[in-house]
């Protein structure tokens, strides 16, 4: 299956910036070497006139927030100026590549700004009326229209489409799937035929079998995974973005849902066993990527909190960093610190594999070959 390459039409081209030189231990290769940056690209041969900006320490490919919402806050959409501030907060936390998992505003102007992180957009959330956060999604009255709207989002986004797979159904008072299985199959096929991948928000258990059978490309949250659906994800090679720091908000969500006691109890149960659930996914071999779900109730700039949470539930420190750096970059069509790669990197004063806290205080942040901090 062929998917669209990373977005390029709206991204700025590297300018004639000052060539740079760094020396440090390059991760994940664990080799100390000289790195040169010219015209926004990485090389390993000396570049005349390169300015040395770092000697010693550790060089890490720019971090990735693989589930982030630039363009919303807890109450709805924001203006572009506010969205710019959100992107700047991510950049200053070391996030140089964002997979934006749904935004109600058009953030393409942000892609043209070289000082902001690279953004891979998933377009708008797709949901049913009253079956998601008000104002965030395109509300689809007739579920049979989903394939048509997915086709529109393929054209609008950057190779990703975001479905709301489940949400509270107030008629039954609990989480429930939004889409019939046959509609999902047709909609996801249309996305794949257009070169796009499809991901889905899923909290509960019931929506997962239909999404997996329909060919979904990623699961967001995944708190309702069971042994059977974990096995199915492994068989199909479907990755998971568990947004662990977002799941920590489930007790607050339950507390606000007194009118729906079954739903509230379900959310508390999902929360209580989430570390075990995600640990089982790790043990089974599901690939995890780091995403914070920033932009709603989670504030921006918390990627290191998510990395630490991934380590807590079972990934090694190096695996947790890779889930938010070199592995996540490759998944999204970018590269690590290799010849000709995008010059997006962090310089750290100590080994983050030994102390994840080192990621909180990079001594340099280089984006598109330019020192931004």
Beta carbons within 10 angstroms of residue 45's beta carbon: 8
pLDDT tens, residue order, the chain (373 aa): 455 555 544 566 555 589 999 999 999 999 999 999 999 999 999 999 999 999 999 999 999 999 999 999 988 899 999 999 999 999 999 999 999 999 999 999 999 999 999 999 999 999 999 999 998 999 999 999 999 999 999 999 999 999 999 999 999 999 999 999 999 999 999 999 999 999 999 999 999 999 999 999 999 999 999 999 999 999 999 999 999 999 999 999 999 999 999 999 999 999 999 999 999 999 999 999 999 999 989 999 999 999 999 999 999 999 999 999 999 999 999 999 999 999 999 999 999 999 999 999 999 999 999 999 8
Place of tokens 């102390």: 355
Cα distance between residue 184 and residue 180, in whole Å: 6
Sheet (strand 118-121) strand order: 63-68, 95-100, 118-121
Give the pair of three-digit tokens for residue 105.
Answer: 């505003």
In which element (H, E) is residue 106 found?
none
In which element (H, E) is residue 373 found?
none
DSSP 62: P
Cα distance between residue 112 and residue 57, in whole Å: 32
Beta carbons within 10 angstroms of residue 88's beta carbon: 17
**E strand intervals along 165-230:** 166-169, 174-177, 197-202, 218-221
Place of tokens 């918390």: 302
Domains of the chain, first to last: 20-60+335-371 (2.30.40.10), 63-331 (3.20.20.140)
């Amino acid at each position: 299956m062929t998917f669209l390459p990373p977005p390029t039409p709206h991204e700025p081209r590297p300018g004639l910036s000052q060539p740079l030189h760094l020396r440090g231990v390059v991760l994940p290769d664990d080799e100390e070497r000289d790195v040169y940056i010219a015209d926004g690209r990485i090389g390993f041969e000396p570049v005349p006139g390169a300015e040395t900006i770092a000697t010693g320490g550790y060089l890490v490919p720019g971090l990735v927030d693989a589930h982030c919402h630039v363009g919303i806050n807890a109450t709805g959409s924001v203006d572009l100026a506010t969205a710019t501030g959100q992107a700047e907060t991510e950049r200053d936390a070391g996030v140089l590549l964002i997979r934006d998992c749904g935004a109600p505003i058009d953030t393409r102007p942000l892609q043209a700004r070289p000082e902001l992180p690279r953004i891979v957009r998933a377009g708008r959330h797709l949901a049913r009326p009253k079956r998601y956060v008000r104002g965030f999604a395109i509300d689809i009255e007739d579920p049979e229209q989903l394939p048509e709207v997915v086709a529109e989002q393929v054209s609008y986004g950057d190779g990703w489409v975001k479905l709301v797979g489940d949400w509270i159904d107030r008629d039954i008072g609990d989480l429930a799937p939004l889409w019939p299985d046959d509609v999902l199959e047709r909609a996801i096929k249309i996305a794949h035929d257009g070169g796009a991948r499809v991901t889905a928000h899923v909290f509960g258990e019931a929506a997962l079998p239909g999404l997996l059978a329909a060919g979904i490309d990623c699961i967001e949250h995944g708190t309702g995974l069971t042994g059977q659906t974990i096995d199915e994800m492994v068989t199909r090679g479907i990755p998971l973005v568990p947004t662990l720091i977002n799941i920590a908000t489930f007790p607050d969500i339950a507390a606000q849902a007194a009118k729906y006691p079954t739903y509230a109890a379900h959310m508390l149960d999902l929360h209580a066993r989430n570390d075990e659930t995600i640990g089982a996914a790790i043990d089974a071999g599901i690939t995890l990527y780091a995403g914070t779900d920033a932009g709603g109730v989670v504030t921006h700039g918390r990627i290191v909190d998510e990395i630490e949470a991934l380590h807590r539930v079972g990934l090694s420190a190096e695996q947790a960093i890779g889930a938010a750096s070199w592995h996540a970059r490759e998944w999204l069509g970018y590269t690590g610190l290799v010849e000709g790669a995008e010059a997006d990197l962090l310089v750290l004063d100590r080994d983050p594999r030994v102390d994840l806290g080192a990621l909180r205080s990079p001594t340099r942040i280089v984006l598109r070959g330019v020192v931004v901090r």
